[in-house]
Every structure is written in C-alpha cells, then in structure tokens.
Amino acid sequence: MFTLRCLIVTVLLGCFTLKIAAQSVQSVALMGTVTNATTGQPMSNANVFVIETRKGVQTDKDGFYLFTLKPGTYNLKISYIGFVPLYREVVLRQGENRVSFQLEDDTRLLEEVTVTTGKPEENVQKVEIGASRLNIRSIQRIPAFMGEVDVMRSLLMLPGVTTVGEGTSGINVRGGSIDQNLILMDDAPLFNTSHLFGFFSVFNQDAVRDVTLNRGGIPAQYGGRAASVLDVRLKYPNSEKFTGSGGIGLVASRLALEGPLVKGKLSTLLAVRASFNDFLFRLGPASLRGTKANFYDITNKWYWKISERSELTFTGYYSDDNFKIPSDSLSNVEVNASSSLYGYRTRSGTLRWQHTLRDNVTWEAVGVLSKYSANISVPDSSNALDLQSGITYANARVQYTNKSNERHQFLMGASAISYGIQPNNLVPGPFSNVLPVNLERENAVESALYIEDEWKVTDLLSVVAGLRYSQFLRLGAASVYRYTPGLPRSEDAVTEIENYGPGEVVKTYGGFEPRLAVRWTLNPATSVKMGYNRMIQYLHLISNTTSALPTARWATSSTYLRPQVANQVSIGLFKNLKNDTYETSAEVYYKKLKDAIDYRDGADIVLNPTLETAVLQGQGRAYGLEMMAKKNTGFWTGWVSYTYARTFLQIGGDHPEERINRGRWYPANYDRPHTLNAMAVYRPSVTTTVSFNFTFSSGRPGTFPKGRYLLYEPTIFGANVPIYTDRNQGRIPNYHRLDFSITFDEHPDKHPDRRWKGSWVFSIYNVYAHKNAFSVFYNIKPYSLASAYKLSIFGTIFPSLTYNFKF
C-alpha cells in the first residue's frame, strides 16, 4: 500500500490507472427516475441502456431504475417507444450516483429502437405457465422462407410446437392435432391459416402487433379447442398522423397505410398483400406451366375513441386463394377433369367495444362474424361441377374486468357461438352429367360462462384460478342415422334415419373446464409455476391426408362424434440470470386426451353423409419436457430451446374394423421426440442485423410396408402392390436446417428529415441445402432398382431478397 501511495505522488498517469485498478473490486450504484418531459409523469418500462456494457434495464412502475456498475465514464441511452431517445454521458463515482432523465415525445419516430426483445422479468413474475409472446419485431428477425415473414412458421421455433413437415398448414402444439389450436386474429377465429396450401401464413406483418401462444395454463376466457390458443393481436392504427409501410418480395408485395381521419378520435389501418408469383411456374417443368397460384389478403382496422373512457374498434379481414392445376384433376371428386380450380376464402369482422368505468375496471363487448369457404371446380362441360364447403361462425361475448384490488384481479364473462357448417355441396354445371349432392348443413350453438381471479395470496405466492362452463347444442334440421347394434358402424348397417326439425336439439354436451395456474416466487429471479387445465373441443377437422387440404371437412360434435376433452398438468422452473440478461425455463407437462379423433383406413370423407362411419375415436396421451434459455441484451441476442415430447393415440373400438393397429397405442403423425431450436440475432450497429436460425427434430412416424406382391391381372404388367399392416410404426429421417438473414436498415440520423425509410432483407433458407425428408414412400417400379424413396419438399437452398419501406 505504501508503494502504491508513493506512485500516486510520483507518476500521475500510472497513478490514474492504478487507482482504478485498486477500486475495481467494488461496484457502485447508478439510480434515478425517467419522467415524461411534457407531463412530468414517471415513465414505467422505459429502457435505460449502458452502451459500453451492452446492458439494459427497464424502469419500474414509478419510473425508477437501478444499475450496479464499476466506477467510470459511461454512455447511457434512455429510450421509450414514441419518445426521442436520449444519449447521456455519466461519470460514476464511489457511493450512490443519482441521475434522472426526462424524455420528450416524438411522433416522428414511432419505431421501437430498443435492443430488448420483450419484458424479461415477465418470465419469472407472470403467473401464467406455458405462454410465449412474440412481438412482430422479433418475428421479423427470424429468417423467412422466400422472404415472407411468417407468423405461424416463427412459432415452430418455440418449444412444444411442431409440424408434420414443410409446406403444410397448421401447427401441432404439445401433441395436439392442427384443429386443436384456437387461432384468433383480433377475436375472430381462423379456420385456415395458410396461403398456397401451407407455404405461407395468412397474417400480414404490417398489421400484426404481437402473437401470444398459450399451451399450458390457458385463461378461462378461451375455450373450444383442446390444445392451445394462439392470439394474434393487430396494431392499433396511428391516431396522430398518416404513415405507411410495405415491401416488395419474391412471392408477395405489401402496402399498409394508417392514420387519423379525425385526429386523436378516429383512425384506420389498411394493409394489403398480394402475390405475383405465377411467373415462377413458367420457369418450371412443362407440366406445371398451366398452374396458376395467387393469393391476396386485406386487413382493415378502425379505432374510434368515443371518449376518454370508451373506445370502439372494428377489424375486417379478407383473404383469398386461387390455385389452378392443369391437365388433370387433383380433386377428391370422382369425375373426369382436364383441370381443376381450388379456391378458398376467409372473411371476418370483429367489433369490440371497451368501456372503462373507473381505473382498472372495464367492460368489454365483442361481436364476431366469420365465414370460411372453400371450393373445387372442374370446368369440363359434361363433367362440370363446383364442390363447395364452408363454415359460418358468429360469436357474441361480454366481459367484466376488475383489476382495482391489489390482491384480487378478477374477470368474468359470457360467450355464445353459433356454427353453421356446410359440409359439401356439389353443384353441377349447366350441361353436366354430374348429379347434384347437397349434404345436410350442420347447425350448432356453443355457449360458455367463465370467471377468473388472479389472487396474490402472499408476496411470494400468486394463483390464477378460473372456471369455465361450456355447453354445446347440436341443432336440427338433422337426419341421424341409426345403426344395427352389435355391428361395426358402416353404411350397410344403417337401419333407419331419424329426422329432427329445424331448431330441435339433436344432442347436448357440456362440462366444467377448470383452469389453474400457481406461481411461487423463490427469489426475485426465480419462480416455480404449476398449471392445470381442462379444455373441451366441440368442433373437429376431419382429414386423412398428411397435411389437411383447405377443403378438408369441419364437423361439429353430433350424436356419434363426441367432443374431445383434454386434461393437462404442467410444472416449470423459471429463472433469470445476470440481471435479466438471461431468461431460462424448464417445463414438464402431461396431457390426457379423451375421444381423440383419427380416420378409418380407406374411409371417404368428402361427400360422405355418414361421417361417423369414417371417423374413429379413442384416447390420447402426450407428455414432454421443454427447456429454453434466452439472452435478451447485448450485441448477440437469441434463444435456444430443447423439447422432448411424445404423443400416442389408442383407438380400440368394439369391433376389429373400428380399431387402429389392433387397438394398441401408436405414435401420432406428429410425434417428434427430440426438437432443438436455436435462434441468434447479431446487431453490431443500428443499420445491420444478422440472424441465424437452426432447427433439428426427430423424423415423424411413417407407415411403411411389410411386404409386397406382384399384381396378377392379365392387362397390367409389373405392378408391385405394397402390403401395409400397422400405422405409424416406422420413422422418417431426422430433420435439420440452418437459415440466415441479414437486414440493412437506413441509419436513423442519415436523413433525419426524410420520411421514407427503406431496408433490405436478404435471407437464405436451408443454407446448407439439406434434403430433408418430408416422407418416405415405397414404390417398386419395373425400371428402378430402389424400393423406397425420400421426398423432400424444400430440398435445396432458397435465397430471397425483400425491400421493406416505411414512410
């Protein structure tokens, strides 16, 4: 110590460095508040970011922030959405350092400039379990296939979410089939979430604000599906000024406009996306040159601020897909055709009124009308036909929310849904030989009452307890087929047809659906959560293809088709490390599914008036472990997740014909035991963002032949017929893929006065061009030496370039 003091006196420079070295053992506190410069109100959730250490914190609800740092000089960036970011140099000395900041409104820059991807403390503090929220900014950073930012595909990066393969529609959440996800876009359910049969999802990135996937501890206000709730929330239109955004991509181009009609009162957002990809087919093989595939979607949202306390929003959505296949029919309809046209459309409207009685006490009323329709048509005059199907959905819901009590935050509500399903309506053309068929329309009502309370039992223990009672009525007019008792249900076993008049109740189902989530805080950065939920599903998608066609048949529960009931328990450990820089979580779940649905071998679903002969019901079980680690701040951000998940079904009917795999447990189509996802975003500067995305998963089950025989038929030569016995006993090869994307944004200070901001996104899907298997199939051809083949859907590298703009 003496030497040290000696040096201080003698060598000034050396003295300075050593002084720091001597003091580096201790950290000092930097604290203060962030307030709104205009109103003087404290600002919660404002970001305070230390540029040197790449560390950031958010202010609490009193606008207070706290850092521990080593003494020295630091550059701070203080930011909040809609405010001009503040850059400040701060010199930290021993002891307490108090620095407060004031942020000024900025209507010019509404862009989120924070590096933080979410609210990291929610990982530990929120009571809900099994919920993931992605805002559109983080979805946009995931390298996209063909440059199309895809909400559904981004969910595949989350633990517990899988799919049967690339280019298919829908997701499988914790062992649920694709129809077990309630997908809501501003409260309107979507019955098909993909464009072009599954290549792209229907959500327009310019209109989406954020996406929440609930796969455990599902809130009581949601019901009607057995596996998960995906809540897609659209942006509120900018009520202060006109802005626009859009993009030009390889597949589709977009334009969104938003702004006030009456400033601060009435505003609207209109987002349009359309594909222009027909030219790609002209580059393809001759047989595809007549193919036409086009889609567009329109999202429109209105916001009307009636008063300080009440607001009204309207969301309208229209999506349209058309696909023409040349030369022959791909239809499921048995007529001869030279080409066929597929079309499907979603249209929906949501009206939502919210009234705040007093602080934290609100009433909400929502009305939804939605219609999904699909058709296949064949133009050939003698066989011309149009096969239509559709589902009409209407929902009215009211909800009362009271969050005024510190300890009890409480909500209750009621909802009524009406379903009208047109299974299949075959309309012949004017000169057609085809006979008209119109399957009976299905009418049903699903109503529910729900109540939920978030109870802060102690500072360490919180409980969200909910209860939902749902009732389902299948209504007439309906014809119910009666089958010979003791015989397998088949068209030949019909004994009589019982008719019900319009409005008459054909069948009633119902039940309580308890929901529970418990959080026990071990310390501010660690908590244990537990969840239980029961979900009853009355509406089912019946399909026997690997990926459901857009024309696949929806059916309500009926006399024979029982509702699917899922019971799930989950428990998890949530821990944040290094001052919320890292979020980690581990969850295990076990789910039992009653009356799980699978199709009968060789059964016809299209145009089948007795659907119950094509469908089998049994039980399912799913269990798994989901682990995730996430880094929120720094030059590098991202996450890694690993999932071990299994899903099995057992269909053991009374008759051998009504069993699958002789009544034994078998893995579901989407059973993929191991999944590893990694996503990394590197942001070295304001103008450049580099993202990597790696995914690995076990191959899905497949049905492989046990043998074969040569067809003995005098007119056919050399056809080998494979012999299949049990379903899903093999497994296709593992899946893995790396994607990359780089985004170049314009520097915000380069042309501060120019409104137009452009950015380029270059992405590569499947960087190392791995030929991932979609399926393995057996086909012995006389001229080939192989017996099995692997089909890869995206079997090569896909580069793409997109230009995005804002003004």
Partner 1 sequence: MKLWPSYKKKWNRSLGWGLIALASCVTPYEAEIHDLSTGIVVQGRVSNLPGPYSIKIVVPASNAYKGLSFGVEKAKVYITDNEGNREDLVEQKEPGLYQTTTLQGVTGRRYQLHIEARGKKYESSPEVLRSINPIERVYDETFRSFEPNTGRERQGGWKVYVDTKDPSEPGNYYRWNWIRYKLTDVCATIDVPPGNPAFRFPCCGYCWDIVRCLGPDCVSLSSDALINGKTISRQLITNVPVECLDRVYLEVEQQSISREAYIYWKATKQMLQNTGGVFDSAPTAIPGNIRCITNPDEQVFGLFEVAGITRKGHLVDRTQAEYSNCPPILPLPAGGVVGCAPCVESRYRTAKTPDFWEF
What is the pattern of x (binds partner 1, CB under 8 A) and - over residues 201-240? ----------------------------------------
Distances (CA, A) of 653 to 486, 489, 559, 620, 648: 12, 10, 17, 14, 16
Cβ distance to partner 1 smaller for residue 145 or 317: 145
DSSP labels, 296-323:
EEEEEEEEEE-SSSEEEEEEEEEEEEEE
End-to-end CA distance of the chain: 62
Paired tokens of 666: 């078998």
Task: Tell me which stretch binds partner 1 (CB under 8 A): 177-185, 369-377, 400-408, 715-723.
Answer: 715-723
Which residue is associated with the tokens 């795999």? 661
Residue of the chain from 724, 740, 762, 803 that contacts partner 1 (CB under 8 A): 724
User: Which residues in the 171-190 window bind partner 1 by CB under 8 A?
Assistant: none
Q: Return d(Cα 155, Cα 162) in angstroms, integer.
A: 9
Minimal distance, residue 496 CB to partner 1, in Å: 12
Interface with partner 1, residue 94, by CB under 8 A: no
Cβ distance to partner 1 smaller for residue 103 or 376: 376
Cβ distance to partner 1 smaller for residue 38 or 381: 381
Task: Tell me which stretch binds partner 1 (CB under 8 A): 506-514, 516-524, 574-582, 704-712.
Answer: 704-712
Which residue is associated with the tokens 């006109």? 242
Interface with partner 1, residue 335, by CB under 8 A: yes
Q: Return d(Cα 560, Cα 161) in angstroms, integer.
A: 31
Minimal distance, residue 343 CB to partner 1, in Å: 14
Interface with partner 1, residue 294, by CB under 8 A: no
DSSP labels, 371-390:
EEEEEEEE--GGG-EEEEEE
Size of site (CB under 8 A) for partner 1: 110
User: Which residues in the 443-502 window bind partner 1 by CB under 8 A?
Assistant: 491-492, 494
Minimal distance, residue 41 CB to partner 1, in Å: 52
Neighbouring C-alpha atoms within 13 Å toward the C-beta of 531: 26
Interface with partner 1, residue 715, by CB under 8 A: yes
Cβ distance to partner 1 smaller for residue 607 or 679: 607
User: Which residues in the 9-68 window bind partner 1 by CB under 8 A?
Assistant: none
What is the pattern of x (binds partner 1, CB under 8 A) and - over residues 607-646? xxxx------------------------------------
Interface with partner 1, residue 712, by CB under 8 A: yes
User: Which residues in the 531-560 window bind partner 1 by CB under 8 A?
Assistant: 544-547, 549
User: Which residues in the 262-281 window bind partner 1 by CB under 8 A?
Assistant: 277, 280-281
**Distance, CA of 254 to chain centre:** 21
Residue 227's contacts (CB-CB under 8 Å, 6 or more residues apart) are 172, 173, 174, 175, 176, 177, 180, 181, 215, 535, 566
Paired tokens of 620: 């399912």
- Determine contact, residues 162/645, Cβ cutoff 8 Å: yes
What amino acid is encoded at 263 in this protein?
K
Residue of the chain from 87, 242, 635, 709 that contacts partner 1 (CB under 8 A): 709
For residue 525, cis peptide bond before it (omega within 30 degrees of 0): no
Which residue is associated with the tokens 């304001």? 686
User: Which residues in the 379-398 window bind partner 1 by CB under 8 A?
Assistant: 380, 382-383, 385
Minimal distance, residue 166 CB to partner 1, in Å: 9
User: Which residues in the 108-147 window bind partner 1 by CB under 8 A?
Assistant: none
- Determine contact, residues 84/109, Cβ cutoff 8 Å: yes
Which one, of 419, 447, 424, lies nearest residue 540 by Cα? 419
Q: Across the strands, what pairs with 721?
A: 709
Cβ distance to partner 1 smaller for residue 101 or 200: 200
Cβ distance to partner 1 smaller for residue 531 or 701: 701
Query: Could you say which DSSP state residue 429 is in?
Result: -
- Determine contact, residues 677/153, Cβ cutoff 8 Å: no
Residue of the chain from 721, 744, 756, 760 that contacts partner 1 (CB under 8 A): 721
Q: Return d(Cα 109, Cα 806) in angstroms, integer.
A: 11
Cβ distance to partner 1 smaller for residue 505 or 719: 719
Cβ distance to partner 1 smaller for residue 596 or 628: 596
Interface with partner 1, residue 435, by CB under 8 A: yes
Task: Tell me which stretch binds partner 1 (CB under 8 A): 34-42, 97-105, 128-136, 433-441.
Answer: 433-441
Interface with partner 1, residue 429, by CB under 8 A: no
Residue of the chain from 374, 705, 737, 741 that contacts partner 1 (CB under 8 A): 705
- Determine contact, residues 476/443, Cβ cutoff 8 Å: yes
DSSP labels, 594-616:
EEEEEEPTT---TT-S-GGGTEE
